[in-house]
């Protein structure tokens, strides 16, 4: 399970890295570095990175050939260790990664196995991979890439510079903006979970609405977004959804939100801009979640919250109330003992008084 | 990201809608309507809908050209607004949607790229889309549609009038009923999570059982259903599963159940008819959940419950007990203060008595 | 929805089964048995199995033609029932399943529709199914099977004797060990959920790390594993993940762990060997979970835990503390009543004393 030996051409010295990121060398600047890696994983031909207090614990055991670090941590690093010291190692990391991993040339062209329906309109320099299916009337903007096995339903409209990874399915009439990234297995425009119970059983409500995804949205693998029953399910510009997220029918997510993995949002819930959702959290249907709200992992919103609130638990309450409640919960035994003691003392006092 | 202008041919006047749904016009019956939409999304050429008290909040800001409403809300609507008033706007909505969105003609025929194994039997008017793979011995009933990239394992038996959306995978020997709908990315008949721990490590238990899905079942996108280890995993007729649901090996779900998104059911659990499961809820393995039980979102059943119970929390308790417990939890600080006050008073009484 | 009648050739008598598993017949050894099944599902031509106290409840209503049971339960079974009695029916079940379901001959060869990139290296007796896409530089070990529609990214390295079910996607540079099993819809090497908030909006951190999956790992359907941001996301040898699991970027799961369905692990969390995770449980990012920890269903680790701990709840606490806290929570009303009574008694004592 070993990977190929490093390509010498891709090696930089510690000194060359310092020059690249406008940093200072401490120790041996001639050490060759092949790759950048987390401190606890970096090997002798790799440079580790330190920009967060949480990584200090990995310093001692690190086998890194050098460390790229924010100056605030320079006293924490063994003086024997080869270092590149910068103001902000997080920013320097971006520069170094871009140098070590230049973007690959984008593929273009339509693979001969792609199935293209009637009235499909492809922009310039579009890539359509093997076994892609584009149904009738779909449109694809310039430089957009549809990777292997993607299925694009009838009348779907896809913007420019969008990347759709293998095995994504877009149901009919879905609208995607520009610079959208959809990871493998994303399903958009699925019929929502809408039924009416009748004496004869459960009857399906037809889903004739649609689904629009704004510019610069990224959606993680195997995430599912239902279409509107009537009207629209929408995701605002700049919002990022992680893997395995669920958005119900007619959900409206505002711009620049972050939803971690396995979040689930019930039908018709409206979510304001810049909200943040921890893993496995959610909201029931028909909620209105105002802008700037932060929802802790595993929490679920079931009642109104205020703009900017930080909430946790189920049903979700303000984080500080949740923390106090949890602390109290695990001290209940103590409270119960105190009450027992008081009861006994009161009984004695009563006996004495009578 | 704009969609095409409305096709004039698909426009109805408010008066024509009233005639269609057997309702009364209030205001201007000549306004042309292109589409039906939720109140808060409807535009000037669309008719909004009002059949639920929760939508009243959207009335004031609505830009709808007209409103289709249940008569109970007729006094809540601005007299200036164009209205179609009916007894039950939910039923009228169904009629209107059917008129505006007539079902498309079903595709039929076998795409030349489909890979058809030995002994595969296709019924009449079957549709087999591009890149579908049907392995040896699979059978497909009349008028069933297999959309692009569907993989049907060996000896799978699929009923009639069933719709399988793109990218569904059915493992070997799975049995599907009639009028089943499987959304994109559904996996049925997966090996269950069955292992035995041995001194040598974790050993896999072979999964040789099967999986049967009853008539009129609908299954949401990316939902996974394991096959039986031995015996059967089954989903009863009329049951609806939402997206990203997980059913373990040998689970038995009764008829006419509703499971919202991200529900997870542990292996060998038996679930009665007409149970309802909120999002992200579940049950551990080997439970017996009787008929008519309702499980709140995020709850998990870990002990026996009674038929018709409504349960919440983890471990799941009766909803009213859960609510009382949560209320108490967030009043613990107050209780603790009371106890402290009583302790002090008792200490004073004791001091005085001694 | 009926399956084919049993093939007479595959029928064994009860006596033959007893001989096979080294057991004793009680009742009629001549009864023909076609299949083995759970007690509550077994029919008259099937043998039910009883090796766990939890199945005793199914005995009475069972329609099984015979029962294969561990001797400890021999007194619990109706003397009229045909039995095969063994020391450990769980082991005997394995033997019987292997006899009734011999492994199928492995397919081999490359389907003519497979798209094979430049520099792809295939081992001996490899199977490449219909519509598989192998991108440039991918390598596949001996006897490995890639089923229909699998997409293998650039430079991916797959070991020997590995089985990849239909519709799996491996992003570029992923490394898989030997004897790995990936179920349908698995996504490995997805870009992680890493962004930085800037005044201009949310910016994506490029994900240039990789992802390695050890030998003998099995991964359930639709599970997603992110690649490292930098460095590696890894799953240790022998570990088994169930369906719909999420592992964030740079997660490190040790060997021989078990994760049930819908578990979610936050980025950079390190997980020790032989940990066990219940359904819908998880850990936040940057945790270090030591070896042998057991996490109950729906729990989430948010603080340090000790090796071998058994934890439950959110935030996760030791199971016995969680249970006591839950018991206390549902007895809060009683405690509140006691406090009220004591308050009253104290007030009376105070009145009397003044």
A150-161 pLDDT, tens digit each = 999 999 999 999
Segment 170-199 of chain C within 8 Å of chain B by CB: 181, 183-185
> The domain containing residue B335 runs over which residues?
323-353
Residues of chain C with C-beta less than 8 angstroms from the C-beta of A181: 191, 204
Q: What is the CATH number of the domain that holds C263?
A: 2.160.10.10
Same domain, A80 and A129: no
Structure tokens at A284: 């029931």
Q: Do A280 and C286 touch (CB under 8 A)?
A: no
- Touching subunits for chain B (3+ Cβ pairs under 8 A): A, C
Q: Answer whether residue A328 is part of any domain.
A: no
Q: Once rounded to an integer, what is the mean pLDDT over residues B273-278?
A: 98
* Chain B residues within 8 A of A195 when measuring between CB atoms: 240, 258
Q: Is the residue at B248 inside a domain? A: yes
To the nearest whole Å, the CA of B322 is away from the closest chain C CA by 8
Judged by CB atoms closer than 8 Å, whether chains meet at B220 and A222 is answered as no
Q: How far is CA A212 from CA A231, A269, B45, B183, C147, in A?
A: 10, 15, 19, 19, 34
* Percent of chain B clearing pLDDT 90 (strictly above): 84
Contact C224 A243 (CB under 8 A): yes
Q: Hunting for tokens 């992110």 — which residue is that?
A: C226
Cα of C126 to nearest chain A Cα, Å: 18
B 281-340 residues with CB < 8 A to C: 282, 284, 286, 298, 300, 302, 314-315, 317, 321, 324-325, 328-329, 332, 335, 338-339
Q: Does residue B173 register a pLDDT over 90? A: yes
Q: Are B137 and B117 in contact (CB under 8 A)?
A: yes
> pLDDT 10s digit of each residue in chain C, 354 long?
334 443 445 789 999 999 999 999 999 999 999 999 999 889 999 999 999 888 898 888 899 999 999 999 999 998 889 999 999 998 899 899 989 998 888 888 999 999 999 999 999 999 999 999 999 999 999 999 999 999 999 999 999 999 999 999 999 999 999 999 999 999 999 999 989 877 778 888 889 999 999 999 999 999 999 999 999 999 999 999 999 999 999 999 999 999 999 999 999 999 999 999 999 999 999 999 999 999 999 999 999 999 999 999 999 999 999 999 999 999 999 999 999 999 999 999 989 887
The answer to whether the CB atoms of A333 and C324 lie below 8 A apart is: yes
Same domain, C122 and C95: no
Question: When comparing pLDDT for B1 and B335, which is higher?
Answer: B335
* Number of independent structural domains in chain C: 3
Q: Look at residue B71 in the predicted model and tell me its pLDDT.
A: 95
Q: Which of C147, C167, C207, C249 is catalytic?
A: C249
- pLDDT tier for residue A9 given thresholds of 50, 70 and 90: low
Q: Do both C71 and C114 map to the same domain?
A: no
Residue C3 lies in a domain: no
Q: Is the pLDDT of residue B2 over 70?
A: no
Quote the percentage of chain C above a pLDDT of 70. 97
Residue of A nearest to B335 (CA): A335
- Secondary structure in 3-state letters for chain B: CCCCCCCHHHCEEHHHHHHHHCCEEECCCCCEECEEEECCCCCCCEEEEECCHHHHHHCCCCCCCEEEEEHHHHHHCCCCCCEEEECCHHHHHHHHHHHHCCCCCCCCEECCCCEECCCCEECCCCEECCCCEECCCCEECCCCEECCCCEECCCCEECCCCEECCCCEECCCCEECCCCEECCCCEEEECCCCEEEECCEEEECCCCCEEEECCCCEECCCCEEECCCCCEEEECCCCEECCCCEECCCCEECCCCEECCCCEECCCCEECCCCEECCCCEECCCCEECCCCEECCCCEECCCCCCCCEEECCCCEEHHHHHHHHHHHCCHHHHHHHHHHHHHHHHHHHHHHC
CA distance A246 to B259: 14
Q: Give the closest of C130, C148, C280 to B264, CB-based.
A: C280
Does the pLDDT of residue B197 top 90, yes or no? no
Per-residue pLDDT tens over the stretch B291-332: 999 999 999 999 999 999 999 999 999 999 999 999 999 999
CB contact under 8 A, B115 and C97: no
Do B159 and B250 lie in one domain? The reply is: yes
Is the pLDDT reported for residue B172 higher than 60? yes
pLDDT of residue B81: 93
- B236/C221 Cα distance (integer angstroms): 22
Confidence at A354, pLDDT banded by 50, 70, 90: confident
Same domain, A96 and A116: no
> How far is the alpha carbon of B325 from chain C, nearest alpha carbon, in Å?
6
Q: CATH number, domain at B22? A: 3.40.1390.10
Residues C135, C114 contacting (CB under 8 angstroms): no
- Residues 28-47 (B) with a CB less than 8 A from some CB of C: none
Asked if residue B315 has a cis previous peptide bond (ω within 30° of 0), the answer is: yes
Average pLDDT over residues B187-213: 89
The label of the residue with tokens 């238990």 reads B205
Q: Which of B40, B207, B249, B286 is flagged as catalytic?
A: B249
Where among B51, B83, B100 does a domain terminate?
B100
Contacts of C168 in chain B (CB under 8 A): none
**Residue A230 is nearest to which of B38, B256, B333, comparing CB atoms?**
B38
Q: Using 50, 70 and 90 to split pLDDT, how confident is the model at B170?
A: very high
Which helix (H) or strand (E) is A246 found in, with range?
strand A246-247
- Decide if A87 is inside a domain: yes
Touching C: B residues 134-163, CB under 8 Å: 149, 151, 157, 159
In this complex, the residue of B151, B171, B209 whose CB is nearest that of residue C149 is B151
DSSP assignment letter at A47 = E
- Six token digits for residue A148: 């292997």
Do B253 and B143 share a structural domain? yes
Does any CB of chain C come closer than 8 Å to the CB of residue A354? no
Contact B246 C238 (CB under 8 A): no
Q: Does any domain span residue A190?
A: yes
Residues in chain B: 354
Interface mutation vs chain C, best among A1, A167, A256, most C CBs within 10 Å: A1
Kindly state whether residues B282 and B146 are assigned to the same domain: yes
- Residues of A numbered 213-272 whose beta carbons fall under 8 angstroms of chain C's beta carbons: which are they? 216, 218, 220-222, 238, 240, 242-244, 256, 258, 260-262
Secondary structure of residue A69 in the 3-state scheme = strand
Q: Looking at the structure, do residues B142 and B288 belong to the same domain, yes or no?
A: yes
Find which of B227, B231, B271, B295 to mutate to test the C interface (most C CBs within 10 Å of its CB): B231
Using CA atoms, how far apart are residues C287 and C268, in angstroms rounded to an integer? 7
Q: What is the mean pLDDT of chain A?
A: 93
**Average pLDDT, integer, range A338-347:** 93
Please report, rounded to a whole number, the percentage of residues in chain B having pLDDT higher than 70: 97
Which one of C100, C129, C164 terminates a domain? C100
Which residues of chain A does B298 touch, with a Cβ-Cβ cutoff of 8 Å?
A: 282, 298, 300, 314
Domain boundary among A100, A126, A148: A100
Section B56-79 average pLDDT = 92
Confidence of residue B335 (pLDDT cuts 50, 70, 90): very high
C2 part of a folded domain: no
Residue A4 clears pLDDT 90, i.e. is over it: no
Reduce the secondary structure of chain C to three states and give it as a string. Answer: CCCCCCCHHHCEEHHHHHHHHCCEEECCCCCEECEEEECCCCCCCEEEEECCHHHHHHCCCCCCCEEEEEHHHHHHCCCCCCEEEECCHHHHHHHHHHHHCCCCCCCCEECCCCEECCCCEECCCCEECCCCEECCCCEECCCCEECCCCEECCCCEECCCCEECCCCEECCCCEECCCCEECCCCEEEECCCCEEEECCEEEECCCCCEEEECCCCEECCCCEEECCCCCEEEECCCCEECCCCEECCCCEECCCCEECCCCEECCCCEECCCCEECCCCEECCCCEECCCCEECCCCEECCCCCCCCEEECCCCEEHHHHHHHHHHHCCHHHHHHHHHHHHHHHHHHHHHHC
B123 shares its domain with B259: yes
Same domain? For C234 and C273 the reply is yes
Distance from CA of A326 to the nearest CA of C (A): 8
Q: Is A88 helix (H, G, I), strand (E, B) or coil?
A: coil
Res C27: pLDDT: 95
Based on the fold, state whether residues C53 and C93 are members of the same structural domain: yes
Number of C-beta neighbours around residue B124 at 10 A:
10
d(C-alpha A96, C-alpha C243), whole Å = 37
DSSP structural state of residue A109: E
Q: Which chain B residue has its CA at the smallest distance from C111's CA?
A: B115
Own/partner pairs for C118-127, CB < 8 Å, 24+ apart?
Answer: C123/C160
- Could you tell me the two tokens for B15? 């008066």
pLDDT value of position C158: 98
CB contact (8 A) between residue A208 and residue B37: no
Provide, as residue numbers in chain B, all residues whose Cβ is less than 8 Å from the Cβ of C131.
115, 131, 133, 149
Residue A345 lies in a domain: no
CA distance B50 to B44: 16
pLDDT value at A1 more than 70: no
Of C185, C242, C279, the CB nearest to B187: C185
Distance of residue A178 Cα from the nearest chain B Cα, in angstroms: 9
Residue A348 lies in a domain: no
**Residues A284, A135 within the same domain:** yes
Query: Measuring CA to CA, which residue among B207, B205, B200 is closest to residue B174?
Result: B207
Predicted confidence (pLDDT) at residue B238 exceeds the cutoff of 60:
yes
Q: Given CB atoms, is A342 within the 8 Å cutoff of chain B?
A: yes
Instruction: Please state the rounded mean pLDDT for residues A140-148.
Output: 98
Q: Which of A111, A147, A249, A303 is catalytic?
A: A249
pLDDT tens digits, A40-87: 899 999 999 999 888 898 888 899 999 999 999 999 998 889 999 999
Query: Is C101 a known active-site residue?
Result: no
Confirm if A170 and A227 have CB atoms less than 8 A apart. no
Tens digit of each residue's pLDDT (9 = 90 or more) over A14-49: 999 999 999 999 999 999 999 999 998 999 999 999
Query: What is the interface pTM, i.e. ipTM, of the complex?
Result: 0.93
Q: Which chains touch A (3 or more CB pairs under 8 A)?
A: B, C
Region A237-244: what's the mean pLDDT?
98
Q: Which residue has the tokens 């060998």?
A: B268
Torsion of CA B110, B114, B119, B121, to 10 degrees: -30
Q: How far is A122 from chain B (nearest CA, A)?
A: 16
Say what the pTM is: 0.94
């Amino acid at each position: 399970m070993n990977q190929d030996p490093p390509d010498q051409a891709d090696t930089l010295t510690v000194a060359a890295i310092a020059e690249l990121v406008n940093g200072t060398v401490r120790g041996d600047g001639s050490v060759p570095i092949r790759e950048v890696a987390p401190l606890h994983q970096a090997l002798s031909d790799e440079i580790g990175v330190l920009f967060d207090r949480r990584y200090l614990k990995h310093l001692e055991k690190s086998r890194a050939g050098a460390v790229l670090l924010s100056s605030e941590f320079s006293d924490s690093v063994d003086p024997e260790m080869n270092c590149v010291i910068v103001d902000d190692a997080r920013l320097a990391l971006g520069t170094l990664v871009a140098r070590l991993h230049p973007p690959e040339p984008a593929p273009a062209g339509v693979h001969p196995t792609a199935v293209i329906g009637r009235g499909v309109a492809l922009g310039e320099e579009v890539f359509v991979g093997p076994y892609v299916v584009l149904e009738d009337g779909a449109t694809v903007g310039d430089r957009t890439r549809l990777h292997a096995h993607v299925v694009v339903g009838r009348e779907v409209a896809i913007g420019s510079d969008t990347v759709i990874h293998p095995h994504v399915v877009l149901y009919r009439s879905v609208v995607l903006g520009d610079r959208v990234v959809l990871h493998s297995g994303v399903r958009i425009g699925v019929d929502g979970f809408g039924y009416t119970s009748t004496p004869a059983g459960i009857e399906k409500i037809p889903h004739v609405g649609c689904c629009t995804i704004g510019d610069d949205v990224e959606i993680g693998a195997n995430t599912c977004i239902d279409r509107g029953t009537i009207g629209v399910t929408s995701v605002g510009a700049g919002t990022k959804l992680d893997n395995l997220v669920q958005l119900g029918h007619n959900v409206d997510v505002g711009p620049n939100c972050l939803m971690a993995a396995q979040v689930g949002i019930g039908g018709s819930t409206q979510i304001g801009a810049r909200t943040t959702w921890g893993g496995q959290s959610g909201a029931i249907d028909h909620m209105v979640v105002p802008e700037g709200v932060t929802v802790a992992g595993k929490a679920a919103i079931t009642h109104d919250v205020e703009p900017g609130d930080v909430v946790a638990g189920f049903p979700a309450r303000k984080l500080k109330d949740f923390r106090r409640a949890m602390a109290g919960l695990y001290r209940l035994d103590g409270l119960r003992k105190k009450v027992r003691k008081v009861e006994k003392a009161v009984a004695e006092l009563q006996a004495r008084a009578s």
